[in-house]
Amino acid sequence: MSVVDPGQIKLAIEKEGQLPLLTTFDQSLPLDEIIKEVCSKWSLPIPEQYAFQYSDYNCYITEENRKGLKNGTVLRLTLSPAKLAQETFERLQAPNPDEKRNALSTLSIIAEDATFASEFIKRNGLNLLISMVENKPESNETLANCLTSFQELMDHGDVSWDLLTHGFIKNLTVFVNKKNPVDATVLKRCLSILEAVSTNSPAFYPVVEKEVVFENLVLHLQNPNPDIQLNGIALINSLFMRTANKKQFAEALSKKGVRGYIMNNIIRDTRVIKGEMAHQLYVYQSLLFSLLVDMVNTRGNASNQNLFESLDILRKVVFESELVGASSARPISQAGVLPKDFKRLGFMDIDSPANDFHETPPGLLPLHTMVYFARKHQEQYVKVVLENLSRGEDYECPFARASIALVKMLCEVLEINGEPPSESGKDYYPIFFTMDFAFEEFFCICIQLLNKTWKEMRATSGDFNRVMQVVKDQICRALREKHQSMEMFKTNVFSLGFSQILKILQEEIHERNIMELRARPVVELREQVLPELKEIVKQQRLDQLIQGTLFDKAPGKARAREKYWYCRLSPNLKFLHYGDCQEGQAPPLENLPNKLPIAKVTKILFGKDCPQTKDRSFKRAFVSLCFSLLYDTEPDEKHLDFIATSPSLFAIWTDGLLTLLNKEMLSSESQEELETLLNMEMKLRLLDLENISIPEAPPAIPAEPPSFNFVYDFS
């Protein structure tokens, strides 16, 4: 048997005007030598001007990536990156417009290759493209190819974006600022390049910010082209992220209806949002949440007059409101009223409630959301507070403490932490695009949910952390549904009651256990454990046969003498001893006169196949409990007939007898017992792997090193 050399790759090489060449690509030879050999076969002069590319996409084969070649690959012999870059650069400066246009078309395709890009940039190709844009190409097609080529070259990351010019950027913003329809490819590239400039060039960000007309930029979110929508929101996000006054920028977004455009033209009109659009929506959401960070990082201070006024609003709305009734109102000057009211509101430090907001996060954000709840949803706020007060001190859910803990938890779930948006984040939630003050409305729903869950769990003060964990689970599950209105979210999250959450968790644990048991390593472990456990079940059956059983000769018939008989297996598993006995007796082995050698048993029969069932007087109700042993005795075959008193006894004896005959047990009871033992054994063996994912396949074995010189010689 021949051994395949991994260094010898069987592949094909193509070239325009030549027949494909089937050859062996020797990985041990320098790439230049292989190219020279191919050029020689096709009689091509100057092999230094040629290189290999993949035939189906523009990627040059280099010494760095040649290891990725596999058997069956098709390569194309083409101009080398340096030769092609020089020719393209010269053609772009040709006086013939058609030649220049064709060169741009080729460049827009080949620019994605890093090797070619490096050669073209060395020849000052980027500055040539910048000057072409500044001079305003004569057609949209030429401009589109020019912008595409420029962006592809810049995306390799080898050159700073600060090489741009004011004129280049201004010409791009002209297309972004147009209200009239613009060529889709041109507009898409203009938006994308301006976003890259805003993100990567501190020198030219102010130029982009100044030249882009925000009102017109926002209109591109209504464009039916998804690429233009994507690049439009990406540019908005970039400007939002870089601006010095985010609050003012957010107000401008609100005035121009950006949130509504995103909700109506992107989220609701797109069936499945994923990839880069999902990331940009996540970024926009994160930037809106970043407006709350100042409050998150600000500690409560007793000398803060605004804080005291907010606390007074919370107290007055619930204890001095007309909704509560005149009997509950008390004069402010009454001694001890303020501390008592703050205690009833659920504050920990009733003498100085500002201290409850000392921890950051969540800082003063909980106070802001509590006041919003009290003002915008006064009736629900009063209901939540008074309902808790009516439960008694032990069962009361302290409103202030719960609100502070809830906001802290929401900051964790929604990543409101002052950190810049993750480069890979895609977790956006449509409900935060449905209205202004979306986070505050979200809090109002969640605090009512917390109160509802507290009541369902019949929680006490000692259950506070447990309730918060359940509420977090409810909120996270509802958020994953990506509801498109706050009302839909509220309906869903309120339907996830405590009992429903418990049911879901149990189903998930069960499903996870099933999935783990299906994993290949676990299946292999089960196969190893199974024979041992099967022997345990078999031994248990044999032990019960050795203990023996009392059988009824004629069940269901009138009582008669010698109606019962007893049968037991000998300890050496070689004989069945049996004989008549009285009801309730269990004769020892030596008192049973009859003996049947197991070696002479030829067959075991079940149910209607048993000889005793052929008797017309036999009652049909007992057919399923019958089994018989056929055995050889000279001169003919005889049988020993059994009628079990119950299905479980039938299963024990038939399984035991089948085991003695070296056959598999057939009863469902034995399978259930085996499965129970198997599951218990697997859980014990996998106990150390709890909460650790089990891979479907073992890790790949690495290739052997080229030499073993690193092995120590202890001789």
Cα 419 from Cα 398, distance rounded (Å): 31
In degrees, rounded to 5, the angle at the alpha carbon of residue 42 between the alpha carbons of residues 37 and 47 is 50
Question: Is residue 11 within a helix (H) or strand (E), and if so which, with residue range?
Answer: strand 8-14
**Among 563, 564, 593, CA closest to 578:** 593
Q: 637 by DSSP, 3-state: which?
A: strand
Angle at alpha carbon of residue 457, lines to 379 and 341, rounded to 5°: 40
Task: Using the predicted structure, report yes or no on whether residue 327 has a pLDDT greater than 50.
Answer: no
Report the C-alpha gap between 14 and 9 in whole angstroms: 16
Q: What is the pLDDT of residues 614-642, one digit of tens each?
A: 887 778 888 889 999 999 876 677 889 99
The closest alpha carbon to 240, from 217, 219, 260, 224, belongs to 217
Please report the pLDDT score of residue 390 as a whole number.
Answer: 86
pLDDT, tens only, 261-300: 999 999 987 778 889 999 999 999 999 999 999 999 999 9
Cβ-based burial of 614 (10 A; exposed 0-12, middle 13-18, buried ≥19): exposed
Report d(CA 426, CA 281) in Å as an integer.
7
pLDDT at residue 562 greater than cutoff 90: no
List the structure tokens of 441: 């409305």
Q: What is the pLDDT of residues 26-72, one digit of tens each?
A: 999 999 999 999 999 999 999 999 999 998 888 999 999 999 899 99
pLDDT of residue 519: 67
Q: Which residue has the tokens 């869903």?
A: 492
Split at pLDDT 50, 70, 90, the class of 330 is very low
Sign, CA dihedral 216-233-182-107, equals positive
Residue 711 has pLDDT above 70, yes or no: no
pLDDT, mean of residues 344-360? 93
CA proximity to 673, closest of 558, 534, 466, 569: 534
Q: Tell me the CA end-to-end span of the chain in Å, nearest whole number.
A: 37
Please determine, for residue 696, whether its predicted confidence score (pLDDT) is greater than 70. Answer: no
Query: 90 versus 692: which is more confidently predicted?
Result: 90
For residues 210-227, average pLDDT: 93
pLDDT at 15 over 50: yes
Mean pLDDT (the chain) is 88
Of the pLDDT bands very low, low, confident and very high (cuts 50, 70, 90), residue 685 is confident
Return the HEC string of 548-562.
CEEEECCCCCCCCCC
360-374, 649-663, 696-710: segment of lowest average pLDDT? 696-710
The candidate with the shortest Cα–Cα distance to 317, out of 377, 357, 363, 365, is 377
Percent of the chain with pLDDT over 90: 69
Angle at the Cα of 425 from the Cα atoms of 694 and 222, rounded to 5 degrees: 135
Peptide bond preceding 20 in cis form (omega within 30 of 0): no
Cβ atoms of residues 156 and 201 within 8 Å: no
Kindly state the tokens that stand for 183: 């060529």
Residue 324 confidence (pLDDT) above 60? no
Q: What are the structure tokens assigned to 88, written together?
A: 């393209």
Q: Is the distance from CB of 215 to CB of 256 less than 8 angstroms?
A: yes
User: Helices (DSSP H) in 212-352: which residue ranges?
Assistant: 214-219, 226-242, 246-255, 258-261, 275-289, 293-296, 305-319, 337-344
| Helix, strand, or coil (residue 643) | strand
